[in-house]
Structure 1
Amino acid sequence: MKSSHNPRLRTLTWGALPLVVLTAAATLDHIPGTNISLTVPYAAEGPGPTVDTLGMADGVEVVEISAQDEAGITIDDPAGQLNMTTVAVRTNMTLVQALGRWIGSGDTLVPIEAIFPKGHSEEEVQEANQIAFSQSESAATLVAMDYLQLPVHVEVAGVAEDSAAAGTLEQDDILLALDGKKITQPQQAQEVIQAKKPGDKLQVTVERAGKELHKTVTLKEHPETKGQALLGILMITVPDNGLEVNYNLEDIGGPSAGMMFTLAVIDKLSPGDLTGGHFVAGTGTIEPDGTVGAIGGIVHKVRAAKDAGAELFLAPADNCAEAVSRSTGDMVVARVEDIEDATQALEDFAAGRPVVACED
């Protein structure tokens, strides 16, 4: 991130609350010669940048897909745009700066606890958002592969220090089964673990360097949830058949890009153009079953998409009323409950048919 003119006034950019660093006005944020702060306990939320998930960022593809020749998979280069949208969040503002954002830009002011909950540091919140972003990437891959009827497996992306899995499981292990139950997605593994108690034994079957291994792990207690068992691994969904999907975005976190990532993967791995060559933007979390979930800051994301020139905006059904509470101009705002709704909206819009739209 770049430094702003006032290093204490900056903009965080995460997926549900993407953060971008912007230049701040040269306004005193403390009484000269003292440590007494003049900042207000509020943050300003406004439109953030939009990123084409079918395009490039910093010289690399945002959604990068590769496949081995023997896999027989064709990777398309779609026309049109599928832009994820973000919310810019400004913190550490003086009263004058906060009022300026509210009156002059249409930003909304929210209590600072809505961005950084009490008892959690900025670093902890950023780490949590990065984990959520990683999980949304994994879910996007899983849902896209399921939509395209392509096989996947669950891989260990990391092992927490001093966890039950430390010293037994390793990064890049392929998780095959837990207690004899076949694992094909992270949610299945979580269900097995959640059914156990701290101190219980867990039989783990993994594939490592081409060999099947059987391990026994004694589960520990979750540090934040008393009585809940914890294995201590980060899992991701990985396609089979030599297909590899990577997501290349920095300084963005949170889960709200999940749906747009899913659509980008589907578009690149299927013939033709999902968008029909149109400029489409949207937002929404993605669950492993394909459900599209609500997000925060929808009015700012809609505004960012409209200002960028989007023709169609895909909005989670639970955000619909708020999404069209302000003028959307000529941009159509479609109501989406799951990935099937999203692809249907794209198909209908590309064919010139009416879409299921949000209503105010």
Structure 2
Amino acid sequence: MSRRAVTLAVASALVLVLAVVGAVMPVPYVALMPGPTTNTLGDNGKGVPLVQIDGRQTYPDNGHLNFVTVTYRGGPEARIDLFTALRGWLSSDTAIVPEETIFPKHESQQQVDAENTRQMQDSQQNAEAAALHELGIAVPTRVVVNSVQQGRPAAAQLAANDEITAVNGVKTSTVAQVKAEMNKAGVGGRVDLDVLRADKPVKAALTTVAGQDGKPVVGMVLSEDYKFPFKINISVGDIGGPSAGLMFSLSIVDKLTPQSLTGGKFIAGTGTITPEGQVGPIGGIEQKMIAARRAGATIFLTPKDNCAEALSARPKGLRLVRADTLHGAIQSLNAINSGRGDVPACSK
């Protein structure tokens, strides 16, 4: 064999080796694919209603109000290889995105998963509040201690999950009210807190110190929680994220009212929800629409800020209905069921 032939053979072998190594080399990308879609009017697969309401009359609906999900492959602890990424780029139902899109730098996969779980829990609570607000059912709020800061006055007398019911004799039901009373006390002033701990009344007397902004603080991180007048339980397993909020709210409204929101139709959708019923944008709209259509959905409720992207990738046979608010989404479904055409649609 000539020297030239040997050189070509060796070079070809090296190219082949490099190609094989490159194909299996981990890359910092994540593959997003259509995930499971679940009917919020159905059960969780174990015979238990996915949205279960106790203490209030409920009504059946034989249609679908499905929330949709996105599954992923990859991540800092299980990166996909180059071959998988290339195959995803060529696939019509897979999106290949930079790893930091899903896993921000300096956050572990466990931290991201924990945050997604927290977002799902917040989404469920917001959905319940939004649904009851839409139905005109009063939902009082309460102020809860999330955590206390070590080295601050609160650390010695307060604990997580304590409910602050009054400050210096003034009843409080919002974080703003607590802060207002603290500001009245001033830095170095005394604040007497009425607290509920595991439903038992507790007193706490604290002296404020100056916070970073110079305002009086005692070192407690607060949040607002809701006192729901009856029990609503949403069971979705290990699914995380906030994007099912709209569909949870619609399911609760549907179950609590005699009129069917679906009219027997297969409706799917997505969108975050605030306690006031505002619908917000989500990620992975293309994969979620594909999942919905494959499951049989013909109508897809779409947050207005996702409309442009949704229009460019809408699967055939799927009608996009723009959802700005929970109230608007309900009006749209009622209009569709009555055969009216005045329904907000996605437009570029």
TM over 0.5: yes
Larger relative helix fraction? 2
CA distance in structure 1 between the aligned counterparts of 2:120 and 2:188, rounded to whole angstroms: 31
CA distance in structure 2 between the aligned counterparts of 1:199 and 1:264, rounded to whole angstroms: 49
CA distance in structure 2 between the aligned counterparts of 1:283 and 1:41, rounded to whole angstroms: 28
Question: Secondary structure at 2:130's aligned position in 1?
Answer: helix
Alignment partner, residue 82 of structure 1? 65
CA distance in structure 2 between the aligned counterparts of 1:289 and 1:218, rounded to whole angstroms: 35
CA contact (8 A) 1:86 1:301 kept: yes
Alignment partner, residue 225 of structure 2? 236
Runs of at least 5 residues in structure 1 that lack an aligned partner in the other structure: 1-29, 32-36, 68-72
Question: Secondary structure at 1:315's aligned position in 2?
Answer: strand
Of the candidates 89, 104, 110, which is equivalent to residue 102 of structure 1? 89
Alignment partner, residue 312 of structure 1? 299
Question: Secondary structure at 2:140's aligned position in 1?
Answer: strand
Alignment partner, residue 66 of structure 1? 54
Question: Secondary structure at 2:259's aligned position in 1?
Answer: coil
Alignment partner, residue 17 of structure 1? none
Establish whether residue 144 from structure 1 lines up as the match of residue 98 from structure 2.
no
CA contact (8 A) 2:278 2:326 kept: yes
Sequence identity percentage = 37
CA distance in structure 2 between the aligned counterparts of 1:42 and 1:52, rounded to whole angstroms: 31
Q: Given residue 289 of structure 2, which amino acid in structure 1 is its aligned partner?
A: V
Give the deviation of 1:42 after TM superposition.
0.3
Alignment partner, residue 175 of structure 2? 189
Give the deviation of 1:56 after TM superposition.
0.8
Larger radius of gyration: 2
Give the deviation of 1:227 after TM superposition.
8.6
Establish whether residue 47 from structure 1 lines up as the match of residue 34 from structure 2.
yes
Alignment partner, residue 331 of structure 1? 318
| RMSD of equivalent CA atoms | 3.4
Of the candidates 73, 77, 80, which is equivalent to residue 93 of structure 1? 80
Of the candidates 104, 110, 120, which is equivalent to residue 133 of structure 1? 120
**Structure 1 pair 227/331, CA: closer, same or farther in 2 (3 Å)?**
farther
Give the deviation of 1:231 after TM superposition.
2.6
Alignment partner, residue 245 of structure 1? 232
Q: Given residue 250 of structure 1, which amino acid in structure 2 is its aligned partner?
A: G
CA distance in structure 2 between the aligned counterparts of 1:232 and 1:323, rounded to whole angstroms: 39
Alignment partner, residue 257 of structure 1? 244
CA distance in structure 2 between the aligned counterparts of 1:89 and 1:313, rounded to whole angstroms: 22
Runs of at least 5 residues in structure 2 that lack an aligned partner in the other structure: 1-19
**Which sits farther off after the overlay, 206-215 or 255-264?**
206-215
CA contact (8 A) 2:298 2:319 kept: yes
CA distance in structure 2 between the aligned counterparts of 1:266 and 1:99, rounded to whole angstroms: 44
Alignment partner, residue 348 of structure 1? 335
**Which sits farther off after the overlay, 49-58 or 210-219?**
210-219
CA distance in structure 2 between the aligned counterparts of 1:158 and 1:296, rounded to whole angstroms: 31
CA contact (8 A) 2:37 2:292 kept: yes
Alignment partner, residue 26 of structure 1? none
> With structure 1 as the length reference, what TM-score do the two structures score?
0.75
